[in-house]
Structures are given as C-alpha cells and as structure tokens.
Structure 1
Amino acid sequence: MNICRKRSLVSIGTHDLDTVQAPFTYSARVPEKIKFVPLNKTQEYDAVELFKLYESDAHLKRFLDIIRDKPVYPLVTDSNDVVLSLPPIINSNHSKITLDTKNVLIEITATDLTKANIVLNVITTMFSVYCDDKYAVEPVDIVYPNGEVQTTPDFTPRVFEVDSDYVNRLIGVDLNSSEILGYLDKAGLKGTLGKHPLAPNADSITMQGSEPIKGELISVEVPPTRADIIHSCDIIEDIAISFGYNKIPRAMIELATVGKPLPLNKLGRLIRHELAYSGFIEVLPLSLCSHDELFKMLQRKDGGNEAVVLANPMTIEYQVCRTLLLPGVLKTIRENKGIALPFKVFEVGDVVLKDSTKERMARNEKRLCVAYSNKSAKFELVQGILDRVMAMLNVSNYFLRPIDDEQNDCEGGGMYLPKRGAHIVYNDNVVLGSIGILHPNVLGNFSLEYPVSTFEINIEPFV
C-alpha cells in the first residue's frame, strides 16, 4: 500500500540493540557536525561527504532530496552519542544486524504520527514471529520535549461492530451468527457476540453511516496488522471473501427501475456530438494538475479562494484539482506536435471550485473548452463554434464583453493578448466564461509553437 511514500512520509531503521546503549535521542544537527560510518562502509564521513558519496548510488540517490536543502539533518543517537541512523537516508554500520544479533531495536521516523504507528505495528508484529519467545515485543517509552510520555508499540485492538442482519443483506446470503463468527476467524479476525468493552461510541467516525442493529450485534477485534480496516463495511468484505464470492447466490434486483442520463450529462453528450460534427476531436486530460499550470503558466493570480489543493500530492504534477479545462487541453496539444496542423480539440468535463456554502466546501462545475491552433490564430473560427453551440442550445441572449487591460494585466500580460480577450455573458449578468487569443508568454510556458484561439464556458446554466 506504499504508506511510506518512498521514505518521504515514513522511514524504517533496524538495529542490533546489544551494540548500543539506551536512552536514544532523536535530534537535528547541521550536516558538518554529523559524522559516522554508514552501513556497509568502513570509512567515517560527515553528512556533506555522505551526500556526495550517495549521489552516484542507484538505490539511495533518489532519497537525498528529501532533506538535502534543510539547514539541519535528523539524527538518532544513543546515550554515548553513537550514531544509529541518519533518517531517511542510511543507518550506521555500528548497529547493523548480523547473523549473531539476538535483540533488535526497531526505529520509525515519520512526518505523520498515525502512519508511524501503523508501520511500527506491522514491522514489530512481523519480526516477532521469528523470536525465540514467539510474538514477544518489548515496549519503548517515547519522551517528548514537553514531558509527555507515549509507550509504543500500542497493540490495543481496534473494535468494530457489525449487525448480523446487515451482513446478510449486504452480501446477499443467509448466515447465522455462528457461521459469521467462523468466517471472521477464517479471515484472521476475532468476533464475539454482544457489546465489547473497547467498542467505539455511537458518535465515533468509524460508526458514521451505520444502520440501527436489527439482528445480533457482533463485536470484531481488528489486529494491529490490519490498518486497512477502517469501517464495518471492510469487516463485511472480509466475511464475503471468506465465504467465497463464487458461492454467493445470484439474484435479480428487487427494485425495478428505468435508467436515464442526468440532464447535465445528457446536455454534455449533445454538445460533444455537435462539436464532433464540426470536425473537432474530444480530448480527456486528467482532472489534477500542478499549481503552476493553473496559475503561473497561464499568467493568472491565485487569490486562494479558487483551487482545491491536495494535502499530500504524490508529485508536483498533481497538486490541485483543476479549476479550468484549458491547461489539460494545451498539454494535449503540446504532446501531439507530430500531428499535422490544424489542432481542433475540445473537452467537456468537470472542474472543482472552492465553495464555502457547500457541505464539502467545494463543488463541481461542468464546462466546455474549445481550442484551435494553426499558423494563424483564426479567432473567428472559434467564435463561430461558440455561436454554433449557442444556436444548438437555442440561446440568443448572450454577448461578448471585452476584458479591459487592468483585468488582463496580471503577472506579465494575462492569459490573452491585450484587447484580444472577452467575457462571455449570458442573460445580461451571468458570466459563463471567456474567449480570446492566448498570450505568446502562455504559449511559451506550454512549449507551443503556433497561436491558439480558445474559449471556455460553464454549461450548467443551460440545463
């Protein structure tokens, strides 16, 4: 499940406990003052020399950038100031595990406490299988600077509650409570009838969405190795797996309904057909993009009230939910330079916008983006496509309102050429979007060689 994200969130160190002396200290020092013999080396290096050494190491060089530019580096030392590790890069050779190791110290460093505890529980339980005293794990007290003490690992089982009636209805079987307990045991989960002392409260997040108990209440203890179980539905899935998916009887759905597309999706399909008839090709870019692609490369300012930002993006290419379709369309043109001109492309898709009036503080908005690229901009062609779409929608009360220089002059010129951009206004006061010829700086930012005329509108008002 890659919870460590290539050491950027969690790193793991294992040490021969008999070679070091407790207590251990997790601190930070300037690179020049960190000196030790790294794992499987015989020479002592300071941290600066160590980074130069591992720049040519095929395995470790990819982790160097995690802390390279930091003023101080993290360090784990024992009571004698012997270095155990420089997380998340390398352990010390002094405490490495050998065939003669009898006692193992497991060290987890992380930027997130929940992930640290999950990894610690999984690693310690796996190691404990091979102990002389099987499953024996000795706890460690972590003392924080404020005096708070936390004992780890914490193997207290998490308890979930499931309803036997709900289990049967969700899977589509007819099992009694004893059979359900047997399938739970088969899945490595301990189930008991009735209320468990460690059961969560009714207002707990793990109980959200749970239905009232109609059958028998079954309490399920989840072992520390199963961090993937976060809701009672995960418990029921394990019961279904133990029972066997192929053994679940087939049945017709009890409620007969007639399916039909949502009005907004039907409108989107009609617009797609109309643009395809006009010779344009539909593209399907990703719904995530980088912050720069959405603002800096389009010469737009980020006011902080538009884009939904991901908390832990995997790469800089996927930092925010797009608020415009245009960046994805331009990237599609960029990646298909080998195709003969002109480029006539469009996308009908959702953007995500911040909205404090909504429960989730954000909302989706269905939009249409059309782009034309050739040796000349041919703005009139894109405007003609806009007129054709409006005529197809039987909309006549719209007009173009020029974007003045003050609106367009942000971060070096704005998205459109001066006096070559306009707002598309509907019903005198509803701004649907904008149309124009892209600024040369924008073309350069996306590595495009030819002019691009484009428009993007919100199609939801026409439903």
Structure 2
Amino acid sequence: MYVHFVRCLQAKIVLDTLVCMFSQYCKEAYTVESAEVEYPSGEKHVYPTLAYRKEAIDVDLVNRNVGINQSADQLATLLTKMCLSSEASGGRLTVEVPPTRHDILHACDVVEDVAIAYGYNNIQKQIPPIGVIAVQNPLNKLSDQVRHQVAEAGFTEALTFSLCSQADIGSKMRQDISQLPVVHISNPKTLEFQVARTSLVPGLLKTVAANRKMPLPLRLFEVSDVVLKDRLADTGARNERRLAAVSYSKTSGFEVIHGLLDRLMQLLEVPSDPASGYCLRPADDPSYFPGRCADVLAYGEPIGRLGVLHPDVITKFELNLPCSALEVNLEPFL
C-alpha cells in the first residue's frame, strides 16, 4: 500500500509539472482540462490537482540561518526571483508555493531559496560563535584499526554489497530465511538485491567465487555493517558492525581463521580465559561442517561464530575447495 501511494504521488508530481510547463503553449494560454480517474476501489479523483499551498516563515529565522540582515519586504523581493510570491506581515513572510515547486517540502527549503536569490558569494563569512573539537566516532576508529591489523595478518579486504538475494543468506547458506531477522525490500528491482544482508560471509564467498582463478590461498575479510530487524529500534531495524573473514585453499584453513581470532582478541586485550575473557563453545549450525563449528564467547556472551563451511554451502557458491569462515560482532569491544 505504501509503495502504491509513493508511485501515485510521483506520477501526480510529474503530471502537475508537465501540465504547468506546456500550458503556456495552449491556444488559450495557461489553461488545462481536467480528467476524472476512477480507481479499482471505486474512488474517484480529478487530475491534475495543481494545488497551491502556503508556508509561513519567520524573518528573523531566515536572516539567522542564511547569515544576512534583510527586511521582510526585501526577502519577499528575493523570493520573486525564485518564482515564489510572498506577502510580508510584521516579522513574518507568507509564501505561496505553486504546483511547479514540488521540491519545496518545508520552510527550510524556502530559506534555501532566499540564500540562492541573495547569492552565496554575497553572504559575509563569519566565524562560528562556538568552538568544538572534532572527535572520530569510536566505532569507526575501532573498525579502521581492525582493518589495518587484519590486513597485516595476510588477509585482503573486500567491500561487498549491503543488499543481496534471499538465496544468498537463505538456501545457499542452508538457513531458513523465515527464521532470520531479515529486512526485506518491498519493491526490489532485481533478484540480486531483495533483502539487506544479515551476514558478511555470503558476500565474501561470492567474491571468492569471482576470483577463484587467482593463486591460492584466497584469504579475504570485510569490516562492515549488517542490517537486522529489531522491533525496539525506531526504524524497525538496526545496524551491527562486524568483522568477517574466509580462508579458501586446498585445505580447510581452520587454523588460519582460529589464529586470526586469537590475534584479534590479543589486539583488543581480551584474555583467553572462559571466565574473564574469550573462549570457544561447540555449536551446531547448518552452514558449517558438523563438529567443525564453534561460537565465540567474550565475557560470557556470544559475539560470533567460526568454523569450516559445509560442502553444500561451498558448492552452492560455485566453489570446489574447503573454506573456513569467521564472523564476529565488534560493537561489544567499544
């Protein structure tokens, strides 16, 4: 229903714009004929609507945001250059938004038009009245440090798409997609981008498949976000920063992946101690070979998983050699 509403709104905007632009060439200039449209639900609407609306803005707000000092009448004159008629009344402006200006969604868009009409080069530069010190986002700083160290460990960084097909995180990984916290795209344009990824491993496997003719071993990693459905989040979904790595060679390379985990924990100053640090716990996961999979626990909480991928997973990604994978959540270490 939401997608249908958005498409109708887009069509209405296009129709209003075309009608307004071509109406000046009509036999009787600036006149249009309306048409009644009946929807399958029985509703009837007359198009084009060519609706006008008004925005009331404060003169002091405009001057403060743009950095100028103009009266209400002067601002009204500036807006005429942007095809916006306005009336000054006291310290406020009443701006009439025509159907040709669908780009004006809020009063701040009118303020932007004032700045354009006044001329950006004519606005006097000022030093901000407050001083702040920029600080890098802690999560991004940690991510950059992890990228550098994993690359020094002999892995090559990859950057894969945030969207993928349902099969990539579902059937190819031997997972039931209905049991995963997946965010689905309501109107995907292609089968390759149907959902937001819940794991970084499928993207790395597709990258390995595209480069399988390269010399072995292929050791790839990625530090990026996955998207998980979360009803407690304002948007219904949340991002989670993760590190994923795969080792593809003639042998499984489990010791390589395990060694990378140990190195990561060493850098994060997490001791190898089940009680006060990190440890491995046997796990059953259909994506991994039975008996070759483990959960990674840090301070008693599961933060990820590593193991040897199941042969069915490998073949579904058009690979034919053993492969081990690691995926951990970095956010608990902030």
TM-score, reference length from structure 2: 0.88
* Among candidates 12, 35, 45, match of residue 150 of structure 1: 45
Among 341, 365, 371, the alignment partner of 2:216 is 341
1:456 equivalent to 2:327? Answer yes
Q: d(CA) in 2 for partners of 1:146 and 1:351?
A: 40
| C-alpha distance 441-176 of structure 1, shift in aligned 2 (>3 A) | farther
Runs of 4+ in 1 over 6 A off after TM superposition: none
Q: How does 1:265-276 map to 2 (within 5 A)?
A: 265-276=140-151
1:305 shift after superposition: 5.8
Deviations 1:372-417 (A, max 9, x none): 112222111100100111111121222222223xxx3xxxxx3112
**2:295 is matched with which residue?**
423
Is it true that 1:403 corresponds to 2:283 in the alignment? yes
Structure 1 residues 175 and 259: CA distance shift in structure 2, 3 A: same
Q: 1:268 to 1:192 in 2, by over 3 A?
A: same
Matched ranges for 1:241-280 at <5 A: 241-280=116-155
Gaps of 5+ in 2: 272-276
Name the residue aligned to 1:122. 17
Q: CA deviation at 1:313?
A: 3.2
Q: Is 1:350 aligned with 2:245?
A: no
Q: CA RMSD in A?
A: 2.4
Q: Per-residue displacement from partner, 1:439-458 (whole Å, max 9, x unpaired)?
A: 22222332334322111011
Unaligned 5+ runs, structure 1: 1-8, 11-109, 195-214, 409-413
- The one of 176, 179, 184 equivalent to 2:74 is 179
Identity %: 40
Q: Which amino acid aligns with 1:455?
A: L
d(CA) in 2 for partners of 1:331 and 1:172?
51
> Cα gap change, 1:338/1:225 in structure 2, threshold over 3 Å: closer, same or farther?
farther
Q: Comparing both chains, which one has the higher relative contact order based on Cα–Cα distances under 8 Å and sequence gaps of 6 or more?
A: 2
SS at match of 2:208: helix
AA aligned opposite 1:423? D
Segment of structure 1 superposing worse, 185-194 or 130-139: 185-194
- How far residue 338 of structure 1 moved from its aligned partner, in angstroms, is 4.4
Looking at structure 2, the residues matched to 175 and 319 of structure 1 have their Cα atoms a distance apart, in angstroms, of 51
In 2 relative to 1, CA 318–147 (structure 1 residues): closer, same or farther, beyond 3 Å?
A: closer
Judging by fraction of residues, say which structure has more helix: 2
Secondary structure at the counterpart of residue 423 of structure 1: strand
Mapped to 2, the partners of 1:336 and 1:249 lie a distance apart of 54
The number of residues matched between the two structures is 327
SS at match of 1:276: helix
Match of 2:274 in 1: none
SS in 2 for 1:309: coil
Could you tell me how far apart the structure 2 residues matched to 1:398 and 1:258 are? 36
Which amino acid in structure 1 is aligned with residue 91 of structure 2?
E
State the alpha-carbon separation in 1 of the partners of residues 91 and 17 from structure 2: 32
Post-superposition offset of 1:145: 5.6
Aligned to 1:112, which of 1, 4, 7? 7
CA contact under 8 A between 2:73 and 2:88: conserved in structure 1?
Answer: no
Q: Distance in 2 between matches of 1:241 and 1:331?
A: 47
Specify the SS of the correspondent of 2:177: coil
Q: For 1:135 and 1:145, how far apart are their aligned partners in 2?
A: 32
